[in-house]
Structure 1
Amino acid sequence: MVVLSRSKIFVPKAAIPPHLYALCSVVAFALLLLVWSALTYGAFVPPLFLPTPDAIVTSAVTLFAEFDLLSDVLASVMRVSAGFLLAAVIGVPLGVLMGSLKTFEAFFEPLLGFIRYMPASAFIPLFILWLGIGESEKIAVIFFGTFFQLTLMVMDVTKNVSIDLINTAYTLGVSQRGVFRRVILPASLPGIVDTLRITFGWAWTYLVVAEIVAASSGLGYMIMQSQRFLKTSNIIVGIVVIGIIGIIIDVLFKWLYGRLFPWLGKGGAA
């Protein structure tokens, strides 16, 4: 059994055992639940503002059993996945080109940098005018909120590929097209996968915005409806469900990262 000294635990970037990594994660959630319980069961916060944990569990059971919350979950997953995949299909190749070719960077970066500061919610009236009030409008909101950051982050990842690797490839007789395929893409891929993991989380933050107008299903719709009727416990259930889905997605991306790039040893544990 490996015993870690205090100095080892607090060494920057030092790996820690998997069981300690898992324990720290569990303790963080336990502390959150402890503070929540103390505030609610101790009557420090009125139930209207923050219900007790058991009230949240009761509301969750009721929503799934009687109000078909699962269909709302599936509708939201479909919308977020569609918007994110569309952003990734366009943004990843464009980001790689921008990070590799200065002409693409000069043409696209100022434009994307300008648009990415514009809030996606401000474009909802235009999306409704252009696309109507169906699924396309909601997917467009999620796409708009994700695409620009994703593309620019992929560009930065690609720009960080060592120029020495590229020059060595040219020295060995690799063509310009071969440099893309055999040097730039393999060197950028770990960072691209990590960027996709992060931006998929951002896509979920636009869910409520996407489902705020003319929606009849989805977690965002359920949250907004619950707010109108002051059903705080239902609001928290919706938020917690989104968080659980996010954790599952994050774990899947980390698993994929570990499978594709085992030599990098990313994940925080050793």
Structure 2
Amino acid sequence: MKPGVTPGSVDEQAAAQRFLEAERASRGSGTATVAAPARPDRTEWPALPVRPRPKPSSSLLSIRKPISHTTRLTLLVLSFVIPLLAWVVLSATQAVPETFLPGPVATFQAGLEMAQDGTLFTDLWDTVQRILYGFGLAVLVSVPIGIVMGTFMAGNALFEPFLSMMRYLPASAFIPLMMIWLGVGEEPKIAVLFLGTVFFNTFMTADVVRSVPRQLINVSYTLGARRNEVLRKVIIPHSVPGIIDAIRVNIAAAWNLVVVAEVVVSTTGLGRRIMQSQRFLETDQIFAILILIGICGVIIDIALRFLRNRIGRWVA
């Protein structure tokens, strides 16, 4: 209320009437006057930082940048040459007594002697057979269960609680029970291998199946595919490379477990041979066996990679 204008005066009523008429006119025309927000002066904006142009970095230090075939081959050779040189230096300087760290030459000679008398390959074949039986059985059981867990929520609710508990139990703790239940033959060693790998391979397979893009499943249903067709033609083919990668990881655990099982309850195998060499401080034989296990692991890994690349070529 302006000074000098009393309530109910003619001027005040006239002002109110003019305000109402202006408001009706603005509504009738469909437009309303809206005050524009205050705009800050552009001169107050901070200046953008001036950065120098980044220098091109080497492909070796670039994130996920492909490297040349020559560079890859060089790094592959260095990954073996550097540890070998360190081993040669430690052996030549006698920094570690030869009783505890035999040299490469002594290790090669010990492995050659075991190969010539046939004990090395006999023990190797016994160990490989146990892995084929124990881990092979684990794959046959874990892959179907993992597919069910990764595909159906009901399957995940049924299997996950029990398997989650079982995977935390160390397989080596079952060796005494397996000896009581199954005796001291091949059965307890195979059972330990099975228990030590089946649960982890199941969960890794389920994770691979869950990673199948939902868009592929929806498109399949849109095109008229049935549930079984989606499972056989979309989910399983897309998951095969990841399942093979899970097998690659868990077969290394199978090699670790078979050595433990052979040390405790076996008269043959590489693990038993390591135990016998330890009793007589024949560390050169132990190193020879360890190198042989590593070579076998590399061969298996390369074979599974080749199989994955050949079978799963359609997966980007």
Which digits, 9 at most, give the CA deviation of each residue in 1:183-215, with x for residues without a partner?
A: 110111111111111111221111211112231
1:236 match: 287
1:70 match: 121
1:102 match: 153
Which digits, 9 at most, give the CA deviation of each residue in 1:30-87, with x for residues without a partner?
A: 0001101111110100112111110101100111112521100000011011111100
2:69 match: 18
Larger Rg: 2
C-alpha distance in structure 2 between counterparts of 1:70 and 1:6, whole Å:
49
C-alpha distance in structure 2 between counterparts of 1:19 and 1:197, whole Å:
26
Q: The residue matched to 1:49 in structure 2 has which SS?
A: coil
1:128 match: 179
Higher relative contact order (CA 8 A, sep 6+): 1
In the alignment, structure 1 residue 89 sits paired with structure 2 residue 140: yes
The residue type equivalent to 2:144 in the other structure is P
The residue type equivalent to 1:212 in the other structure is V
Single out whichever of 53-62 and 66-75 deviates more from structure 2.
Answer: 66-75
- 8 Å Cα contact 2:278-2:286 kept in structure 1: yes
C-alpha distance in structure 2 between counterparts of 1:130 and 1:13, whole Å:
51
1:79 match: 130
C-alpha distance in structure 1 between counterparts of 2:57 and 2:130, whole Å:
46
Instruction: Tell me: CA distance 1:19–1:207, structure 2 relative to 1, closer, same or farther (3 Å).
Output: farther
1:112 match: 163
**Residue number among 118, 132, 155 corresponding to 2:206 in the alignment:** 155
2:95 match: 44
Query: Whose helix fraction is larger, Structure 1's or Structure 2's?
Result: 1
CA offset at residue 168 of structure 1?
1.3
TM-score (ref. length: structure 1): 0.93
Task: Spell out structure 1 runs of 4+ moving beyond 6 A.
Answer: none
Which digits, 9 at most, give the CA deviation of each residue in 1:90-118, with x for residues without a partner?
A: 10011010001111111111211111111
2:60 match: 9
**Residue number among 255, 260, 263 corresponding to 2:311 in the alignment:** 260
In the alignment, structure 1 residue 190 sits paired with structure 2 residue 241: yes
CA offset at residue 6 of structure 1?
5.0
1:268 match: none
Q: Number of paired residues?
A: 261
Q: The residue matched to 2:59 in structure 1 has which SS?
A: helix
2:190 match: 139
Q: The residue matched to 2:264 in structure 1 has which SS?
A: coil
C-alpha distance in structure 2 between counterparts of 1:97 and 1:152, whole Å:
11
CA offset at residue 15 of structure 1?
2.2
Instruction: Tell me: CA distance 1:22–1:12, structure 2 relative to 1, closer, same or farther (3 Å).
Output: same
CA offset at residue 159 of structure 1?
0.8
- 8 Å Cα contact 2:240-2:312 kept in structure 1: no
TM-score (ref. length: structure 2): 0.79
Instruction: Tell me: CA distance 1:198–1:179, structure 2 relative to 1, closer, same or farther (3 Å).
Output: same
C-alpha distance in structure 2 between counterparts of 1:31 and 1:217, whole Å:
34
In the alignment, structure 1 residue 180 sits paired with structure 2 residue 210: no
**Residue number among 209, 222, 238 corresponding to 2:260 in the alignment:** 209
**RMSD of aligned residue pairs (Cα, Å):** 1.4
Q: The residue matched to 1:59 in structure 2 has which SS?
A: helix
